[in-house]
Structure 1
Amino acid sequence: MKLFETQDLSIYNSLSKNKEKFIPIHEGAVGMYVCGPTVYSNVHLGNCRTFLSFDLVFRYLQHLGFKVRYVRNITDAGHLENDGESGDDPILKKARIEQLEPMEVVQKYSVDFHEVMALFNAKAPSIEPTATGHIIEQIQIIEQIIEAGYAYETNGSVYFDVQRFNEDHQYGKLSGRQLEDMIANTRELAAQSDKKNPQDFALWKKAEPQHIMRWPSPWSDGFPGWHLECTAMSTKYLGNNFDIHGGGMDLKFPHHECEIAQAEACNGESPVNVWMHANMLTLNGKKMAKSTGNNILPRELFTGENQHLSKAFSPTVAKFFMYQAHYRSILDFSNDALLASEKGFNRLMDSNRALSELNTSDQSSLDISAWRQSCYDAMNDDFNSPILIAQLFEGARMVNSLKEGSETITKEDLGLLSKTFHDFLFDVLGMVDVSADNSGSGDKLAGTIELLIQLRNEARANKDFATSDAIRDQLLEMGIQLKDGKEGTTYSLN
């Protein structure tokens, strides 16, 4: 018997705005699509939180025994910025700045994205298609939408007719917006006059002479609109109606709203049963933004090379911190919160390692089965990771009681306790015990570095800057970076 046959999973559906019991379209199988990154810059923490939220969903569905096809795209063309005069694809902008071919930009930042997600120990999706690899499918969908009467061509560009669509369907049902109240948010180039209505959005854009990325189509040499790629790739690999579609909260409108409209116009049916949206990150109580300096990239978090945190934090601690908030809640990154999270993470890892040292008895004074089910109950309630982590801390309390001898446990229950820790810490949450292997050598390394930091501090106090600089530089050559701050000197392993 599969676990999903014994567990009732409920998911908050952004479309119905209610928690619903999850019943997959095909028994024992789940199709899930998540909007992936636009690869024109280093992936930022807000993106990482979204992808880690759905890594948790992916892992838990697999843990329950579902066969999951997880599709997450790469946007490497067509994501237009609504910035007035230029309106360039950000990949083309970056290509000009860095004097690279657009596909060099795509490759550079795709590699960065995959490396960062690997550092977070996120699972790779089942399929990772690209927008440029599915131009033909996008053209075919445009032709079908035109034939259905919901799109029109003007001067080589094709636009979705929102008002015509709204006569037969409901545009705005995901975001809750009324068409008459909407303001244009088209993410296209200029030429608003080409459109019948400001709410209409581009399905295909005729390329200007300077536009490098272009493909032939029945309408012009051009490129597809941003919203179209996800409709093309999700339906190609998951069918016209599939189980789960996820993404960041910022994509609900217009991107996901337009996806629904395109799919219904083309296929005549709602494309997705459950829409899921992960919320945003803030830093020290304010929105993350490069323009204000209130921003931190994942690698800056891991190395400690930033102005916001007192030390480096490992990827697994950062992920643990993210999971201490529900994926639908706003999460604020701060130094104090990360330090507290690191202590909690280490406590759970210590408890997990202590399991092998516990003695068993003829009877248990603890109800391990009930506690294990409480862990499932947390995840079954819309993937409630903070409640799951609270239950794991309860497990850590039980381990301490067993170590102290105030509680007893049978060999069978100890096995169940160990299995539960492993299942939820490592299989479901995807944590990594960074000190489990070579913990003795790790302690020795930490002690050695601390000794060198002390010697360096003494050299600086004696104004022997040649020695202090030599210690810093030689450690850096070995991949150990020192950082001087108000709290003293800390280090990170690069």
Structure 2
Amino acid sequence: MQLYQNQKLKLYNSITGNKELFEPINEGYVGMYVCGPTVYNYVHLGNCRTFISFDLVFRYLKHLGYKVRYVRNITDAGHLENDADAGEDRIAKKARLEQIEPMEVVQRYTVDFHNTLARFNNLPPSIEPTATGHIIEQIDIIKDILDKGFAYEINGSVYFDVIKFNTTTKYGKLSGRNIEDLIHNTRELDGQTDKKNPQDFALWKKAEPQHIMRWPSPWSDGFPGWHLECTAMSTKYLGEKFDIHGGGMDLKFPHHECEIAQAEACNGHTPVNYWMHANMLTLNGKKMAKSTGNNILPNEIFTGDNDILSKPFSPAVVRFFILQAHYRSVLDFSNDALLASEKGFNRLMEAIHLLDELRVSPQTSGTDTASWRQKCYDAMNDDFNSPVLIAHLFDMVKYINQVKEGKASISEADLTLVKDTIHAFVFDVLGLVDVSASQEDSTDKLSGVVELLIRLRAEARANKDFATSDKIRDELAEMGIQLKDGKEGTTFSVS
């Protein structure tokens, strides 16, 4: 029997505004799509929060025994800044500034994205498709929408007809926007003259002569609209209707609203059963923005190379800090908050280490461990409520310390249950990493590398290659690793 058969998971559905019992389309299987990054710069911390939040969802669904297909895209096509109708696309703009090819920009920042999420211990998605790898599918969807009368072509560009679509179904159902209000509040802008209505959005844009990233289509050499790629890739890998679609709160409108419209225009029904949105991250009480300097990159946190934090913080501590808030709440990032999270994280890891040292008692435990275990599940079953889960884990941390001090007892069966539950929720579900264990592993690897260099230095000296021998010794010394030659051989110390 799979755990999901006994655990009733409820999640907050953005499209209804209610917590709903999760019932996948196919029993035992979950299809989940999350909007990935546009890879034209280093991934910022706000994006990382979104991807850590959905990593938690992915991990818990897997823990419950579901077979999950998690699709997260890479936007590597050159859409215009802010999905505008005129101007320069973000990837090409970066390529011009750095004097490299657009696909060099894509590669550089895709690698950074993967490396950063790996440091946060995020699991990779099941499929990670790219926008440029699905141009044919996007063109096919545009043809279908045109055939069904919900789009129009003009001067080589194709636009979705929002007003016509709204006559058959409601545009704005996810964001709560009213089409009449949108019309009233929209002013005409340069570059929108081809559109029937300012609310219409591009499915295909004809490329200007200077536009680098372009593909042939029945309408022009150009590029697809930003919203289209997610419709193409989600339906290709998860079907015309799937379980969960996630992303940041900022994507609700227009991106996700347009996805719904495109899919409904093609298939005649809503594409997703449950919409989930992670909230924003602020820094010292203010919105993060590069323009104001109120911004910090993940690597600057890990190295301490910044003017905001008092010291470096490990990726595990930052992840723990993020998961101490519910994914739908605004979270403020500050030095004091991280310091507090680091203390809590260390307390949690110390308690886990104590589990192997506790003496079991033949007496009945002084706490109901089975009830405590279900409370942990109840927290996660309540819309993935990680802060409440963490509070329950700390209830057990307190009890573990009482047992260690001889102020409480625990039976062997209960100790086994506590160990299994804590390891499952701390490492498998929350995805935390025991930093002390990883540091020991790093120390072992460092020792192995230095021992190899000592052997190579010994070989150089035996061959009277004193230049190489001295180079190894001197460069290690510059890194703070001192070699000491003695009768028993060469040893080292780290300063």
Report the residue type matching 2:21 in the other structure: K
For residue 22 of structure 1, what is the amino acid of its counterpart? F
Cα-to-partner distance string for 1:52-71 (whole Å, 9 max, x where unaligned): 00000000000000000000
Amino acid at match of 1:257: E
Match for residue 389 of structure 1? Answer: 390
Aligned residue runs from structure 1 range 417-456, under 5 A: 417-436=418-437
| In structure 2, distance between residues paired with 1:84 and 1:409 | 63
Q: Which amino acid aligns with 1:413?
A: D
- Say yes or no: does 1:213 pair with 2:213: yes
Deviations 1:110-136 (A, max 9, x none): 000000000000000000000000000
Report the CA distance shift for 1:438/1:97 in structure 2 as closer, same or farther (over 3 A): closer
Counterpart amino acid of 1:141?
I
1:66-125 per-position Cα deviation (integer Å, ceiling 9, x unaligned): 000000000001432248795221001001001111100000000000000000000000
Q: Cα gap change, 1:400/1:262 in structure 2, threshold over 3 Å: closer, same or farther?
A: same
Superposition deviation, residue 436 in structure 1? 2.4
Residue 257 and residue 430 in structure 1: after superposition, are their counterparts in 2 closer, same or farther (change >3 A)? same
2:248 and 2:280 in contact (8 A); partners too: yes
Q: Which residue of 1 aligns with 2:283?
A: 283
5+ long unaligned stretches in structure 1? 446-473, 481-494
Distance 2:396 2:13 in 1: 31
Q: Partner of 1:377 in structure 2?
A: 378
State the distance in 2 between where 1:338 and 1:270 align.
41
Q: CA shift at 1:263, angstroms? A: 0.1
Alignment map for 1:175-254 (pairs within 5 Å): 175-182=175-182, 191-254=191-254
Aligned twin of 2:152: 152
Give the AA of the match of 2:403: L
The equivalent of 1:42 in structure 2 is 42
User: How far apart are 1:476 and its partner, in Å?
Assistant: 11
The C-alpha deviation readout for 1:363-396, integer Å capped at 9, x for no partner, is 2222111111110000000000000110111110
In structure 1, give the amino acid aligned to 2:92.
Answer: L
Q: Aligned AA for 1:379?
A: M
Match of 1:452 in 2: none
In structure 2, the residue corresponding to 1:360 is in which secondary structure?
coil
8 Å Cα contact 1:282-1:331 kept in structure 2: yes
User: Amino acid of the residue matched to residue 87 of structure 2?
Assistant: G
Please name the residue that 1:132 is paired with: 132
Q: What is the deviation of 1:404?
A: 1.3
**What secondary structure, in the 3-state scheme, does the structure 1 residue paired with 2:167 have?**
helix
Q: Does 1:24 align with 2:24?
A: yes
Structure 1 segment 81-92 matched on structure 2, within 5 A: 81-82=81-82, 87-92=87-92
Query: How many Å separate the matches in 1 of 2:29 and 2:57?
Result: 14
Runs of 4+ in 1 over 3 A off after TM superposition: 82-86, 183-186, 437-442, 474-480
Q: Distance in 2 between matches of 1:75 and 1:424?
A: 32
* Corresponding residue of 2:111: 111
Matched with 1:467 is none
Q: Aligned partners of 1:379 and 1:347: how far apart in 2?
A: 22
The answer (yes or no) to whether the contact 1:78–1:225 under 8 Å persists in 2 is: no
Question: Which blocks of at least 5 consecutive residues in structure 2 are unaligned?
Answer: 447-474, 482-495
Deviation at residue 406 of structure 1 after TM alignment? 1.6
Question: Equivalent residue for 2:354?
Answer: 354
Counterpart of 1:306?
306
CA 1:306–1:411 in structure 2 vs 1: closer, same or farther (change >3 Å)?
A: same
Aligned CA-pair RMSD: 2.2
Q: CA 1:478–1:408 in structure 2 vs 1: closer, same or farther (change >3 Å)?
A: same
Query: Partners of 1:223 and 1:83 in 2: how far apart?
Result: 12
Distance 1:194 1:18, change over 3 A: same
Query: Which amino acid in 2 is paired with 1:390?
Result: A
- Deviation (angstroms), 1:478: 3.4
- Structure number with greater Rg is 2
Question: Does the C-alpha gap of structure 1 residues 83 and 323 become closer, same or farther in structure 2, counting only changes over 3 Å?
Answer: closer
Structure 2: distance between partners of 1:84 and 1:392: 47
SS of 1:436's equivalent in the other structure is helix
Instruction: Give TM-score scaled by structure 2 length.
Output: 0.88
Aligned to 1:143: 143
Contact 2:80–2:86 (CA under 8 A) maintained in structure 1: no
Deviates more, 1:406-415 or 1:49-58: 406-415
Q: How many equivalent residue pairs? A: 450
> 1:10–1:147: structure 2 CA closer, same or farther, 3 Å change rule?
same
CA distances 1:290-334 after superposition (whole Å, capped 9, x unpaired): 000000000001101111100000001000000010000000000
C-alpha separation between the residues in 1 aligned to 2:148 and 2:442?
Answer: 67
Name the CA distance, whole Å, in 1 between partners of 2:352 and 2:158. Answer: 58
Q: How many percent of aligned residue pairs carry the same amino acid? A: 73
The 3 A distance-change label for structure 1 pair 152 and 85 is: closer
1:87 touches 1:190 (CA, 8 Å); kept in 2?
Answer: no
Give the AA of the match of 2:367.
Answer: L
State the SS of the aligned residue for 2:20: strand
- Give 3-state SS (helix, strand or coil) of 2:396's partner: helix
Q: Distance in 2 between matches of 1:285 and 1:439?
A: 37
Whether contact under 8 Å (1:82, 1:185) holds in the other structure is: no
